[in-house]
A and B are shown apart, each in its own frame.
Chain A
């Protein structure tokens, strides 16, 4: 089970959004990569949702 694996393994985080959260994890020596996020697809949430659905 994926959930069981998560609870037994090292937590490795992709942080998308507030940079603070990535800094906090770094301070705890947790492997983390911060994504420099910005609103996609000319800022239109509907197009962003469509792109994500299509696997983009």
Chain B
């Protein structure tokens, strides 16, 4: 018999990452089935209802209130869980929310505390993000908006307003920027150099910048523009402004542009602007076909080739010898033939599809690139590459780069499935990401001897990242995971194993 207990704390707010940590701690308590701590917005209440976590008490919460919801085997265990959640929430010194210091509650007070502030980094829930951005633009700040679920009409209005003021509106849904060496949100520690990057894809930007950094190059600035900037409705407003700024920047000698293939009219405007520059430009439109580009530009359809171009043609390869596909194929259990990709980065998933397409190996995905079939949620047969950062997996749940719970569960299920030959993953480190994603991933793996599938990943990061590239790679290798030198290499070796099995 499961008991559902809700408690509402009126006029109380904590950010979603802090709440996620407490939910996880509480969900691990004895007798607890599930636990959620969420602000009482309509969306969240619907999620809790669908998960069987909401009762009449929680139903009455407003978006200003915090809802504690637990299911447990007994009322006593449910109440202990709620008490523990309240204790964690009220303990500022131990809660990872941060510290007991005083923080301003308004932008104006914050500005008086930090004269000369130039960027507002906004990560409030999507429905409130546009209002905060407007306030910041009004005060002359550039904006980086990490928040997603912002209506496209608000994005267009904010970007037009920002452009009129000469300010950069990076985002919404902008996961990564590095301005003057400063990593904002999900970004890596990258050496300074003369390569400027404009990216409509957060993980694409992370993969290219870390490949550059791990192979001796450096980045002047990496400007995220948000995933929709090159859509027709937005028209590439921020991409063009960022390109202008990098073109004028004396510290930037060449420019990299990363995006999904844009619609024709936007592509034309961007290519025309690129053609006016004297600087060398490497364009990555993930999965793109042929396209005419200006003489100062080169076009690529994957991230690794783009990084190699920015590195002046330097080849990115395996350190030492690449693993033998035949050797890896021997680890695969009888009758297992398919590849399952469980990616935390959407662009990593797209790039893997590019390599499957080039090899002529059929694959489906929940985020298909042109030419790839959409994976049917019900029956995912054959080779399937999934982006677990896509909306269907992240509504009401933190991104898999922060919280590995969902991916670990799917990883265990996938390995147990007697059709799986290869599991393809990505591990993204750097600021914003999980503190030790390699160990977290390894905790979900059965012992290497008991495993009947090959697990392949790359690590997107640098030695100077807080998690350290080599430390993460070692943890994975010690657990029998193949660590490829890039996401592209990971896809290639997965395909080689498939061929060796055939």
Contacts and interface: CB of A to CB of B under 8 A. Distances in A.
B471 interface: no
A6 B249 CA distance: 11
B64 A38 contact: yes
B63 A17 contact: no
A13 to B, nearest CB: 5
A8 B242 CA distance: 14
Interface string B5-40: 000000001011110000000000000000000010
A45 B251 CA distance: 41
A4 B107 contact: no
Interface string A1-21: 111111111111111111111
B119 A21 contact: no
Contacts, number: 181
A14 B168 CA distance: 15
Most chain B C-beta atoms within 10 Å of own C-beta, residue among A17, A23, A25, A42: A17
B141 interface: yes
Given A4-B248, A21-B146, A24-B432, A39 B13 contact: yes
B183 interface: yes
Nearest to B167: A2
Given A38-B64, A43-B63, A18 B118 contact: no
Nearest to A37: B124
Given A6-B179, A16-B124, A35-B104, A48 B131 contact: yes
Contacts of A51: 131
Interface residues of B, number: 68
B49 interface: no
Contact of B18 (A16, A19, A44): A19
B449 interface: no
Contacts of B135: 52, 56
A45 B180 contact: no
Contacts of B246: 7
A45 to B, nearest CB: 4
A53 B120 CA distance: 17
B359 interface: no
29 contacts: A1-B245, A2-B142, A2-B165, A3-B241, A3-B242, A3-B244, A6-B118, A7-B180, A11-B182, A14-B121, A15-B120, A16-B121, A16-B123, A17-B124, A18-B123, A20-B17, A20-B432, A21-B123, A33-B110, A35-B106, A36-B103, A43-B63, A43-B64, A45-B127, A45-B128, A48-B128, A48-B131, A49-B130, A52-B130
10 cross-chain pairs, A with B, having the tightest CB-CB distances, nearest first: A43-B63, A17-B123, A38-B13, A52-B131, A2-B166, A3-B245, A45-B127, A36-B103, A52-B134, A24-B431
